Structure 1
Amino acid sequence: MEKEYKILGNYIRLVDERNKNLAVTKLLGVSISKKFIPSIANIVGTDLSNYKIVRTGQFAYGPVTSRNGEKISIAYLDEEDCIISSSYTVFEVENKEELDPEYLMLWFSRPEFDRYARYKSHGSVREIFDWNELCMVELPVPDIEKQRKIVKAYKTITDRIDLKQKINDNLEATLNAVYKEFFTVASPDELPYGWKIAPFSEIASITMGQSPEGDDCNTSGFGKALLNGPTEFGFYSPSPVQWTTTVKKHCVEGDLLFCVRGSTTGRMNWANQSYAIGRGLAAIHHKTTPNLNWFIKAMIDNNLQEILAAATGSTFPNVGKDLLNGFKVIIPDDTTLQKFGSKGYAISRLITANAKEIDTLLVFQKTLLSKLTI
């Protein structure tokens, strides 16, 4: 054990309080994003008296890890009491003057903890990270005031991210409303003079990604940064984890990156530099004016459900180049576009500034979590 590291089992205890009198009705589950979420289980006719109660300030986790990839479902309840399935393990910190529960949750939030939990999981049919293994976790436990300072710093970042996300949600809604105000028509016969309904390819250029050979890829930063899909996406721009010495397709700075394969089809990010792009992505930009790339995104947002509905694939959608090029959009005359641009561009710049700040704050979050080991 490293110096200053402690055994977690010395600070926590099991809790097994059942909902015998049905006093608690709020049913939640625990997600792999380490949050309590509304349960999607069908509980019609279910006896909820055997469900476990989680009190405010307690933890719950799902010990089965084999179906969660590299994540373990564990969360801290900072809201009103709830009930959860009896398959979860509930526990609490015994002495909050020795170990701050929110500090402990930060430790659980580290990707290294997920990897540790998977490594320590065992079982022939389902792999389990059981209570005994959790108790054997080693972690640094500085004095309580230092723990609280770390928690406060993390909360400050989180609150700022939440604020910026709410602002951007409102701005996105406003931009969408402005777009519809300008470009919604009752029928094709009522298009203003100079407008037309045409394929998306008349206003946008699309580059479909093509993955390089595996042997040409590396994680050491040699060659050109490579994007394969949304796993590298940030709130605004991606962060590459791979590089390639052979570039088959690439995007340029300012391109809209659009996911074209799998369950994340339709997710978007902005290229903050030139990247090699794999087959899971398409790079899209306005044909003549880079400053109108945000207008291209507004077009896609306004037509996204139709694009996804037309996508092929029996299990997950797959958006091909022909589909992207061919979906119909309303293309206004230049005068109307410039008039809309004075409003839309201003809103889009605010969205961009907030999104970039969120990406920066997310880096600060990761840095803070990484320093918990020191």
Structure 2
Amino acid sequence: MRDVSRKWKEVKLADVVSILGDGLHGTPKYDENGDYYFINGNNLNGRIVIDEKTKKVGIIEYEKYKKDLNDRTILVSINGTLGRVATYNGENVVLGKSACYFNVKDDYSKNYIKYTILSDKFRNYLNTHSTGTTIKNMGLKQMREFTFQVPPLQEQKAIAHILSTLDEKIEVNNQINKKLEEMAQTIFKHWFVDFEFPNENGEPYKSSGGEMVESELGMIPKGWEVRELEDIAIITMGQSPKGSSYNEHGDGTVFYQGRTDFTNRFPVRRLYTTEPKRIAKTGDILMSVRAPVGDINIANEECCIGRGLCSFRSKNSMNSYLLYILLNLKEKFDVFNGEGTVFGSINQKDLKGIKIIMPNDSIVKYFNDIATSLDKKYLYLEMESRKLTNLRDTLLPKLMSGELRVPLEDDDIS
């Protein structure tokens, strides 16, 4: 083991990067058949996130506006939502003005600098030095002036290795959960939209000649029926407690106000209330009832729900099946987004009256058993990731400040 009395030094961001610049101030010529994505700060989330809404450009626009992005590049959002971070991994992209980029010098650990940018110290710096009231903006000059402490390179790598290991496990869990969700959705669509559920011989129903009959929602398998949502679910509309009962230190019942408390599948604790009004039980499905209507989470504990939410509970103890019905009704909920003078919303009467196609009980139970198994795996990995995230967030400031030192072996850590 080496002596842990290793000296740290104070540097500015400008000292550790070879270049720090921003993206295109303007709009490129888009090309839906192009091979290059036009990204902004909202595409940054640990990595560059590309989705169906991301616009594309062709080779001419790319050559005109490309930047010197390489394996030492870190991207940061500096306009609108500040401080979103991603490492560059070779994607074909053109940067918009709300993203800046900098290339870390070889004598500093790129990942250590990334975690410095993810630290509370840098976020506080952004909030203090940004301009604008409605839309925040961080200037490149101020970015260059950000000051922080760095240890010797080997210790930088060791610190980054610890934090990266936690992030990698979280990302693995996220990818597994994404696959689990895709599996359940694929089965649901195949069975209840395409009507290819297994018949008594284990063959896909419709393509094997299964009988179809007319209904008010179109052709459906014989023995199925059109029902209203209230026939299969208990629907509870949220009601917000008095504001004076709110607290953040855990006094009373956990309180979810609306979709701002939602994550991919389970809400996060922010507030508690000592005077809960409407309660959702563990396993209840929570849905946003104010714009955007129809976002879904699951209550993983008993909680109070505010007026931005409602809860659903299956009347026949088949919540996993109900979950996938609701996820696939999103477009129906959007119909109600125009209701209300300020916010789009949906009320209990409208929810109760939504028409759904209801299979026979045996098919519902079969799917519910499959979905429940997938949902349990999803919950386990999600809760594990939350624990790992809390551990990372606890370690990060202690490691980055030198409060917690990392013992080093003689061999270098890459």
TM-score w.r.t. the length of structure 1 is 0.80
**Structure 2 counterpart of 1:164, from 169, 173, 179:** 173
- Aligned-pair CA distance for 1:199: 0.7
C-alpha contact (below 8 Å) 2:74/2:85 kept by paired residues? yes
Corresponding residue for 1:303? Answer: 329
Corresponding residue for 2:15? Answer: 10
Change (3 A) 1:345 1:216: closer
Corresponding residue for 1:105? Answer: 114
Q: Which has the higher helix share?
A: 1
**Structure 1 counterpart of 2:87, from 71, 76, 80:** 76
C-alpha contact (below 8 Å) 1:229/1:259 kept by paired residues? yes
- Aligned-pair CA distance for 1:154: 3.0
Query: How far, CA to CA, are the matches of 1:50 and 1:86 in structure 2?
Result: 15
**Structure 1 counterpart of 2:69, from 55, 77, 83:** 55
**Structure 2 counterpart of 1:227, from 238, 253, 256:** 256
Structure 1 range deviating more: 152-161 or 207-216: 152-161
Query: How far, CA to CA, are the matches of 1:283 and 1:125 in structure 2?
Result: 33
C-alpha contact (below 8 Å) 1:30/1:62 kept by paired residues? yes
- What secondary structure does 2:266 align onto? coil
Q: Deviations over 1:288-340 (max 9, x none)?
A: 42xx1111101112322222234434886423222322211223333333333
Query: How far, CA to CA, are the matches of 1:17 and 1:301 in structure 2?
Result: 39
Query: How far, CA to CA, are the matches of 1:262 and 1:104 in structure 2?
Result: 38
Query: How far, CA to CA, are the matches of 2:373 and 2:86 in structure 1?
Result: 39
Query: How far, CA to CA, are the matches of 1:63 and 1:344 in structure 2?
Result: 41
**Structure 1 counterpart of 2:305, from 268, 277, 297:** 277
- Aligned-pair CA distance for 1:253: 1.3
Change (3 A) 1:202 1:216: same
- Aligned-pair CA distance for 1:43: 6.2
- Aligned-pair CA distance for 1:241: 1.4
**Structure 1 counterpart of 2:319, from 283, 287, 293:** 293
Query: How far, CA to CA, are the matches of 2:354 and 2:104 in structure 1?
Result: 56
Query: Is 1:354 matched with 2:354?
Result: no
- What secondary structure does 2:114 align onto? helix
C-alpha contact (below 8 Å) 1:249/1:277 kept by paired residues? yes
Q: Which amino acid aligns with 2:338?
A: T
Query: How far, CA to CA, are the matches of 2:139 and 2:21 in structure 1?
Result: 15
C-alpha contact (below 8 Å) 2:238/2:310 kept by paired residues? yes
Query: How far, CA to CA, are the matches of 1:126 and 1:338 in structure 2?
Result: 50
Structure 2, unmatched stretches of 5+, are: 1-6, 25-34, 196-211, 404-414
- Aligned-pair CA distance for 1:231: 3.0
Q: Which amino acid aligns with 2:282?
A: E
Query: How far, CA to CA, are the matches of 2:376 and 2:271 in structure 1?
Result: 29
Change (3 A) 1:54 1:353: same
Q: Which amino acid aligns with 1:192?
A: K
Query: Is 1:192 matched with 2:192?
Result: no
Q: Deviations over 1:261-302 (max 9, x none)?
A: 224x3332221211111112111111242xx11111011123
- What secondary structure does 2:367 align onto? helix
Structure 1 range deviating more: 319-328 or 204-213: 319-328
- What secondary structure does 1:206 align onto? strand
Query: How far, CA to CA, are the matches of 2:279 and 2:23 in structure 1?
Result: 56
- What secondary structure does 1:54 align onto? coil
- Aligned pairs for 1:204-215 (under 5 A) are 204-215=233-244
Q: Deviations over 1:191-237 (max 9, x none)?
A: 433x4211111111111111122222122322222111233334443
- What secondary structure does 2:304 align onto? strand
Q: Which amino acid aligns with 2:146?
A: V
C-alpha contact (below 8 Å) 1:28/1:37 kept by paired residues? no
- Aligned-pair CA distance for 1:45: 12
Query: How far, CA to CA, are the matches of 1:40 and 1:218 in structure 2?
Result: 39
Counting matched residue pairs gives 357
- What secondary structure does 1:53 align onto? coil
Query: How far, CA to CA, are the matches of 1:144 and 1:233 in structure 2?
Result: 39
Q: Which amino acid aligns with 1:272?
A: N
Q: Which amino acid aligns with 1:6?
A: E
Q: Deviations over 1:1-28 (max 9, x none)?
A: xx94623233234356999xxxxx8454
C-alpha contact (below 8 Å) 2:37/2:54 kept by paired residues? no
Q: Which amino acid aligns with 2:165?
A: T
Corresponding residue for 1:140? Answer: 149
Q: Which amino acid aligns with 1:283?
A: S
Q: Which amino acid aligns with 1:217?
A: Y
C-alpha contact (below 8 Å) 1:311/1:317 kept by paired residues? yes
Corresponding residue for 1:249? Answer: 278
Structure 1 range deviating more: 106-115 or 239-248: 106-115
C-alpha contact (below 8 Å) 1:6/1:139 kept by paired residues? yes
Q: Deviations over 1:140-199 (max 9, x none)?
A: 312322322232233333333333333333322322333344434554265433x42111
- What secondary structure does 1:177 align onto? helix
Query: How far, CA to CA, are the matches of 1:354 and 1:10 in structure 2?
Result: 40
Change (3 A) 1:356 1:54: same
TM-score w.r.t. the length of structure 2 is 0.73
Aligned CA RMSD, in angstroms, stands at 3.5
Query: How far, CA to CA, are the matches of 2:333 and 2:132 in structure 1?
Result: 43
Change (3 A) 1:15 1:177: closer
C-alpha contact (below 8 Å) 1:206/1:321 kept by paired residues? yes
